[in-house]
Amino acid sequence: MSPRSVQKGLPPRPSFDGKNPSSLETGPDRTRQDQTRPDTTRHDHQKSTSADEKVGPRTMAAYLNQRIVHPHHGIPVSRAETPALEKDAKCVEPIWNKAAEGVPFFTPEQDPVAGTAVLPQPSGKPVPKLFTPLKIRGVEMPNRIWVSPMCQYSAHEGFHTPWHIAHYGGMAQRGPGLMMIEATAVQANGRITPEDSGIWLDAHVDTLKKHVDFAHSQGALIGIQLAHAGRKASTVAPWLSAGATATEEVGGWPHDVVGPAEEPFADHYPTPRAMTLAEIARFKVDFLAAVSRAVRAGFDVVELHFAHGYLVSSFLSPAVNRRTDQYGGSFENRVRLALELVEATRAAIPDDMPLFVRISATDWLDTNPAWNGDSWTAEESIKLARLLAVRGVDVLDVSSGGNHAQQKVVGGPAYQAPFAKQIKAAVGEAMLVSTVGSIKTGELAEKIIAGGDDEHDTPLDLVAAGRMFQKNPGLVWAWADELHTDIHVAHQIGWGFGGRALKKPGKSSIP
C-alpha cells in the first residue's frame, strides 16, 4: 500500500461553532480569551470562579461531540479537541493515526506491510530468500510464504460465517505473502460437503468481499481457489467420517454427483453420473461466471483447483477418466477441459492479475505394487505444466494424490517438493513453481526456496503452508525468528514487543 500524505485530502478543520473552519476561533460558547491568567507560579493564589473563565458544559459538550468527516472515506469519526484558553495558545503538532485507504472502516495503515523484512537487518546479515519480495504481474508479495487453501466446512449454503472472518482475519494480520481462500464451489453440486464455501451465486460476493476488504486494510494480498469436487462431492465433514455420503436429510445431493465416468472414488462414496457434453459446457459457463464474481469481489489472485481427485483432476487421470469422447483417452483429450478453463479464465481476468493452478503431480499409484494400470505421473505433469505456462498461468501450485483410493503416498518432510523441483527444472523461468505439504520449519522452507547443498538442486519460487498456519496464524513471524530475521509486524501487535514510538512532535498551530 502506497504511503499517503497526512495532509492530502484533509477537510478544513471545523471550528466549534462550525462557522470558521480555518481558524482557532470558536463559537459564542467559547471561553473568553482576554481574561488575566492566574499566576500559576504561586501556591497561594485563588482561582477565579467567574462564569467567563469557566469552560461551561455547553462548550465541553460541543467539543466532545464534535464530528468530523474521516479524510479517507467520509465516515464520521469522533475527535475531541481541547478548547484553546489563550489567544496566543500553541498546540502540539497533530500526529495522525493514519487510516488504511480504500476500505469501508477505520484501521491503521500498515506501512510497511506485515511480513516485510526490515532493511537493513539490524544484524547486518543478508535477508534470507524466503523473506525477499516476489513480484507476480501487478502484485508484489512481501515474502515467499503463502497460506494454502484449507476447507473449513463451516459455510451455510455457500455463505461464509463469522468463523471464516476470524480464521482468515487472524492470518491476514500476521504477514503471509498471500492468503488463499479455501476451495470455493463454482456450482452448488461442486461442494465437497454441504458446508463448503460457494461462489455460484452473485449473492456470495458480499460475504467474500469482507475478507478482501479486511486483507487489503492490512496491506495484505488475498486470493481465492475456485473448485468443483466432482465425484468426491456430497460427503460429510472429515471429523465426522472419512468420506461418508451426505444424504438429503443432512443437506447432501447424492443423486447429483458428477464425474468423468460412473465410478465412485470408494465404496462408501456416492456413485457419480458421467457428465454429458452439455453438462461439461454448462460447467464451463458456470466456472467462468465464478471467475467474474471473484474479480468483482476484488481478489488479487485466482487459483484453479485441478488437484486431489476433484472434478478437473479426475478428468486428467487415466486411472479415473474412462471416456471415449474428446475429453478422454489420449493425454491431449484428458487435459482438454483444464486447458479450456485456463484459457477462458486468463481472458476474463485483468492482465495484471496473477493466475495460479494447483495440480496433483502424481496419483501415487505407481508406488502401489498391486496397481497395474495407467495413472497420472510426474512426467505428464511436466507436459501439462508447459502447456499451462504458454497459456498465461503464473504459478503452478504442486501438490499430489487424491485421485484414487488405492494410492500409496510416500510421505515425509516436504514430500511433494521433489515433484515441484522436477517441474521447475523443466519449465525454468516460463512459470513460477510452488510446493506445499509437511513444511514445518523455516529452515526447511528456506532450503526449498534458496536451494540445497547439491549444486543440481532446483530452487523453487515460493512455498505454501496449510496446517502450520492453522496451528499458528503467526507462522511467518515464527519462521522469521527461527531464521534470525527481523520483519515488520502489524502496529497493533508489534508495538507491545518493540515499545512505544520515540517521536516527539514539535509545536505548531493546528492547521
Q: What pLDDT is recorded for position 61?
A: 44
Confidence check: pLDDT of 441 > 60: yes
Q: At what angle do helices 204-217 and 277-297 cross, to 10 degrees?
A: 40
Report domain extents, the chain: 116-489
Instruction: Indicate whether 71 pLDDT > 50.
Output: no
> Which DSSP letter does residue 138 get?
T
One-letter identity of residue 272: P
Work out whether the CA dihedral 433, 437, 438, 439 comes out positive or negative. positive
Mean pLDDT, residues 229-247 taken together: 96
User: How high is the pLDDT of residue 50?
Assistant: 47
Q: Give which of 125, 142, 124 is closest to 133, Cα–Cα.
A: 142
* Least confident stretch, 8-17, 97-106, 342-351, 384-393: 8-17
**pLDDT value at position 430?**
98
Interval 250-265 mean pLDDT: 98
pLDDT tens for residues 31-56? 444 444 444 444 444 444 444 444 44
Across 468-491, average pLDDT: 98
The answer to whether 374 touches 412, Cβ cutoff 8 Å, is no
pTM, entire model: 0.82
Quote the longest CA-to-CA distance of the chain: 104
Please give the DSSP secondary-structure letter assigned to residue 130.
Answer: G
Residue among 510, 371, 495, 490 at smallest CA distance from 113: 490
Residue 35 is predicted with a pLDDT of 44
Q: How far apart are CA 511 and CA 22, in angstroms?
A: 7
Q: What is the pLDDT of residue 21?
A: 42
pLDDT of residue 453: 76
pLDDT above 60: residue 450: yes
Does residue 388 contact residue 396 with C-beta atoms inside 8 Å?
A: yes
Percent of the chain with pLDDT over 90: 76
Q: How far is CA 46 from each of CA 32, 39, 42, 54, rounded to the nearest angstrom?
A: 19, 9, 10, 14
* Confidence grade of residue 505 (pLDDT, cut at 50, 70, 90): low
Which CATH fold topology does 116-489 show? TIM Barrel (3.20.20)
Q: What span, in angstroms and rounded, lies between the C-alpha atoms of 375 and 402?
A: 12
- Predicted pLDDT of residue 37: 44
- Strand 432-436 relative to strand 462-465, pairing: parallel
pLDDT at residue 90, as a whole number: 54
Q: Band the pLDDT of 14: cuts 50, 70, 90.
A: very low
Find out whether 183 and 149 touch, Cβ atoms under 8 Å.
Answer: yes
Q: What rounded mean pLDDT belongs to the chain?
A: 87
User: In this predicted structure, what is the pLDDT of residue 34?
Assistant: 43
DSSP designation for 497? H
pLDDT digits (tens, 9 = 90+) for 80-97: 444 554 555 555 688 889
In the chain, % of residues over pLDDT 70: 80
Task: Compare 323 and 47 and report the one with higher pLDDT.
Answer: 323
